[in-house]
Chains A and B, each alone.
Chain A
Amino acid sequence: MRVAMLGWEFPPFVSGGLGVHCFELTRQLCEKGVQVDFFMPVSGKTVVSPHPNLRIIEVAKTELRPYLFFSKKGQAAYGENLINAVNEYWAKCIERVIAASSEKGKYDLVHTHDWLTSKAGSALRNKLSIPLVQTFHSTEFDRTSWPWEYILDIERSAASNADLIIAVSKRTRAQVMRLGAEEKKIRVVYNGVDSERFGAVKIDAKISALLKKDKKIVLFLGRLTEQKGPVQFLHAAKKVLSKNPNVLFLVAGKGELLPMLINISLELGISDSVKFLGYVPEEEQQKLYKIADVYIMPSTSEPFGITALEAMSSGVPVIISKTSGVAEIVRSAIRVDFWDINAMAEKILAVLKYPQLTSTMSRLSVTEAAIYSWEKTADETIKIYEEAMRRG
Chain B
Amino acid sequence: MDVCIYFQVHQPLRLSSYSLFTEHTTDGASYFDDTLNSQIMHKIAEKCYFPTNALMLDLLEKHPEFRISYSLTGVFLEQCKRYMPEVLDSFAALAKTGRVEFLSETYYHSLSYLFTEKDEFIEQIKLHSNEISKFAVPSRVFRNTEAMFSNDIAYLVERLGYTGILAEGLEHILGWRSPNYLYGVKGTEKIKALLRHYKLSDDIGYRFSAKWWSEYPLTADKYARWLAALQGDCVNIFMDYETFGEHQWADTGIFEFLKSFPGETEKHKHLRFATPSQLVERIPAKDDIDAPQVTSWADMERDTSAWLGNEMLRNAFARIESMGPAVPEKKDEDMLRTWRMLQNSDHFYYMCTKSLSDQDVHNYFSPYDSPFDAYINYMNILQDFKAKVEKE
Which residue numbers of A lie inside 8 Å of B, CB to CB? 239, 243, 331, 333-335, 342, 345-347, 349-350, 354, 356-357, 359-361, 364
Contacts and interface: CB of A to CB of B under 8 A. Distances in A.
Contacts of B312: 354, 356-357, 360
Q: Looking at chain A's contact residues, is the secondary structure mostly helix, strand, loop, or mixed?
A: helix
B21 A354 contact: no
A360 B311 contact: yes
Given A354-B375, A354-B379, A356-B311, A346 B359 contact: no
B376 interface: yes
B21 A345 contact: yes
B334 interface: no
Contact of B376 (A331, A333, A346, A359): A346
Nearest to B369: A335
Contacts of A360: 310-312, 353, 371-372, 375
Contacts of A335: 369-370
Contact of B20 (A243, A331, A359): A243
B116 interface: no
11 contacts: A243-B20, A333-B370, A334-B369, A354-B315, A354-B376, A356-B311, A356-B314, A357-B372, A359-B311, A360-B311, A360-B371
A357 B319 CA distance: 14
A364 B353 CA distance: 9
B19 interface: yes
B380 interface: yes
Q: Which of B19, B372, B376 has the most CB of A within 10 A?
A: B372
A345 B380 CA distance: 13
Contacts of B21: 239, 342, 345-346
Nearest to B356: A331
A243 B369 CA distance: 24
B372 A346 contact: no
Contacts of A334: 369-370, 372-373
Interface in B350-375: 353, 359, 369-373, 375
Contacts of B353: 360, 364
B19 A331 contact: no
A353 B373 CA distance: 14
B15 to A, nearest CB: 14
A357 B375 contact: yes
B20 A361 contact: no
B237 to A, nearest CB: 34
A334 B353 CA distance: 13
Contacts of A239: 21
Contacts of A364: 353
Contacts of B375: 350, 354, 356-357, 360
A349 B370 contact: no
Nearest to A240: B20
A348 to B, nearest CB: 10
Contacts of B379: 350, 354, 357
Contact of A361 (B314, B359, B369, B372): B372
Interface of B is mostly: helix
A235 B230 CA distance: 66
Contact of A347 (B310, B315, B359, B376): B376
Nearest to A322: B369
Given A243-B20, A356-B312, A356-B315, A350 B359 contact: no
A364 B356 CA distance: 12
B253 to A, nearest CB: 33
Interface in B39-80: none
- 9 residue pairs, one from A and one from B, having the closest CB atoms: A356-B311, A350-B376, A356-B315, A356-B312, A342-B21, A334-B372, A360-B312, A360-B311, A360-B310
Nearest to B311: A356
A331 B370 contact: yes
B311 A346 contact: no
Contacts of B370: 331, 333-335
Contact of A342 (B19, B376, B380): B19
B20 A349 contact: yes
Contacts of B19: 342, 346
A331 B357 CA distance: 13
A343 to B, nearest CB: 8
Contacts of A243: 20
Interface in B98-137: none
Contacts of A354: 312, 315, 375-376, 379
A243 B20 CA distance: 9
Contacts of A356: 310-312, 314-315, 375
A364 B375 CA distance: 15
A243 B380 CA distance: 13
A293 to B, nearest CB: 15
A359 B353 CA distance: 13
A117 B359 CA distance: 42
A333 B372 CA distance: 8
A281 to B, nearest CB: 31
Nearest to B22: A342
Nearest to B383: A353
A346 B20 CA distance: 7
Contacts of B20: 243, 342, 345-346, 349
A346 B380 CA distance: 10
Contacts of A331: 359, 370
Contacts of B359: 331
B372 to A, nearest CB: 5
A361 B380 CA distance: 18
A5 B315 CA distance: 52
B375 to A, nearest CB: 6
Nearest to A336: B369
Interface in B303-326: 310-312, 314-315
Given A331-B359, A333-B370, A347-B376, 19 more contacts: A243-B20, A331-B370, A334-B369, A334-B372, A335-B369, A335-B370, A342-B20, A342-B21, A346-B21, A349-B20, A350-B379, A354-B315, A356-B314, A357-B312, A357-B372, A359-B311, A360-B311, A360-B372, A360-B375
A389 B137 CA distance: 74
Nearest to A349: B20
A349 B380 CA distance: 11
Contacts of A350: 375-376, 379-380
A239 B19 CA distance: 12
A239 B371 CA distance: 24
A346 B375 CA distance: 12
Interface in B202-261: none
A357 B376 contact: yes
Question: Which of B369, B373, B375, B376 has the most CB atoms of chain A within a 10 A radius of its CB?
Answer: B376
Give the interface centre of A331, A345, A347, A364 by most chain B CB atoms within 10 Å.
Answer: A331
A180 to B, nearest CB: 33
A27 B178 CA distance: 57
A355 to B, nearest CB: 8
Nearest to A341: B21
